[in-house]
Amino acid sequence: MTAYQQPLPPAAELEDSVLLQMYYQMLRARRLDERMWVLHRQGKVAFHISGIGQEGTQIGAAFALRKGYDWVYPYYRDISLVLTLGMTPRMLMLGLFGKKEAVSSGGRQMPEHFSYRPSKLVTISSPVGTQIAQAPGTAFASKIKGSDEVTVVCFGEGTTSQGDFHEGLNWASIHKLPVIFLCQNNQYAISEPMSVEMAVKSVADRAKGYNMVGVKVDGNDVLAVYDVMREAVARARKGEGPTLVEGFTYRPVPHSSDDDDRTYRSREEVESWKKKDPILRFEKLLYERKLLDDAKKTEIEAGIMDEVNDATDYAMRAPYPAAEECLYPVYGPLP
Partner 1 sequence: MFMQNNQVNDENMREISFAEAIREALAEEMRRDPTVYIMGEDVAEAGTPFKVLLGLVDEFGTERVVDTPISEAGFSAIGVGSAMTGMRPVIDIMFGDFLPLAMEQIVNRAAKIHYMSGGKLRVPIVFRTTLGAGRRSAAQHSQSLHAWFSHIPGLKVAIPSTPYDAKGLWKTAIRDDSPVIFFEDKMMYSLKGLVPDEEYTIPFGLADIKRSGKDITLVATSSMVQVALDAAKKLEEIGLSAEVVDPRTTWPLDKKTLIASAKKTGRVIVIDEGYEQYGVTAELAAVIAEGAFYYLDAPVRRFGAMDVPVPFSPVLEDQTIPSAEQIVEAAKDLCAV
95 vs 252, which CB is nearer to partner 1? 95
Choosing from 35, 40, 206, 251, the catalytic residue is 251
Q: Is 196 in the site for partner 1 (CB under 8 A)?
A: yes
Q: Is 128 in the site for partner 1 (CB under 8 A)?
A: yes
Q: Is 49 in the site for partner 1 (CB under 8 A)?
A: no
Q: Give the integer Cα–Cα distance in Å for 217 and 278.
A: 13
Q: Is 264 in the site for partner 1 (CB under 8 A)?
A: yes
Closest CA to 23 of 219, 218, 304: 304
Q: Is 127 in the site for partner 1 (CB under 8 A)?
A: yes
Q: Is 189 in the site for partner 1 (CB under 8 A)?
A: yes
Specify the 3-state DSSP secondary structure of 270: helix
Q: Is 330 in the site for partner 1 (CB under 8 A)?
A: yes
Stretch that binds partner 1, among 161-169, 178-186, 233-241, 278-286 (CB under 8 A): 161-169
- Report whether 79 contacts 49 (CB < 8 A): no
62 vs 96, which CB is nearer to partner 1? 96
- Applying CB under 8 A, which of residues 2, 16, 46, 280 lies at the interface with partner 1? 46
The nearest distance, CB 200 to partner 1, in angstroms, is: 12
Site for partner 1 in 84-103 (CB under 8 A): 98-100
44 vs 176, which CB is nearer to partner 1? 44
Q: Is 200 in the site for partner 1 (CB under 8 A)?
A: no
Is 24 an active-site residue?
no
Closest CA to 249 of 213, 273, 229: 273
- Applying CB under 8 A, which of residues 53, 129, 242, 252 lies at the interface with partner 1? 129
The nearest distance, CB 97 to partner 1, in angstroms, is: 8
The nearest distance, CB 14 to partner 1, in angstroms, is: 36
Is 264 an active-site residue?
yes
Is 255 an active-site residue?
yes
- Applying CB under 8 A, which of residues 35, 48, 77, 113 lies at the interface with partner 1? 113
Task: Please report, as ranges, the residues that interact with partner 1 according to CB under 8 A.
Answer: 46-47, 98-100, 105-111, 113, 125-129, 158-159, 161-163, 189-192, 196-198, 258-259, 263-264, 320-323, 325-327, 330
**Active-site residue list:** 251, 255, 264
